[in-house]
Chain A
């Protein structure tokens, strides 16, 4: 799997947009970008995924650069409940069940 690089931590003001970057310069053509998060003392939670087009769902938006070497997860209106560790991973779409998380970005939303 392609390696991803994320900042270790970031703060965000409640009600503002949180933009979480991820670098994946070695991503291959058949690999998707997935985002998960893990709230303290809970199991991981799927957020969103994409291949090359921007994606949006009820939780977040995913912006992937044209060269696919980086992406940004956007939480449009961060709340205190969005405080969590956010993981960016790249996986091929077929048989992509094997999730493996590294350190991720610890996002703290402050009132």
Chain B
């Protein structure tokens, strides 16, 4: 099992640019989560999909952030335009049973730096 795959692993961009983060969940998992981790705020849930449908996007910071899940094997998190305060590690996690905290499998993360 390859686990959750995220790309790119590192991204450096300039303020104002569009950033797209990608995630491939574990095959057979029907739930997908995007998290953001910073030193100041710790780990925060941004959005939760179940069966490709967004269920909880209350953590999405503002309209600059958008997430899609066009099919069961792919999701994107887009930031447009990016700002320096968006610098963080972004994690994608998938789960075979979305509503339980003990079954989330995390990817290695994407470290985003916005200059």
A interface residues with partner B (beta carbon < 8 Å): 34, 41-46, 49, 91, 93-103
Contact = CB atoms under 8 A, between A and B. Distances in A.
B102 interface: yes
Nearest to B45: A98
Contacts of B31: 97
Interface of B: 4, 31, 33, 35, 37, 42-45, 48, 56, 59, 91, 93, 95, 98-104, 106-109
A16 B108 CA distance: 29
B100 A41 contact: no
A97 B42 contact: no
Contact of B43 (A49, A95, A100): A100
B56 A98 contact: yes
B42 A34 contact: no
A67 B8 CA distance: 46
B28 to A, nearest CB: 17
A97 B43 contact: no
Given A49-B101, A102-B42, A97 B48 contact: yes
A45 B100 CA distance: 14
A95 B108 contact: no
What 6 pairs across the A-B complex have the smallest Cβ distances?
Answer: A43-B106, A101-B43, A96-B101, A101-B42, A98-B45, A43-B91
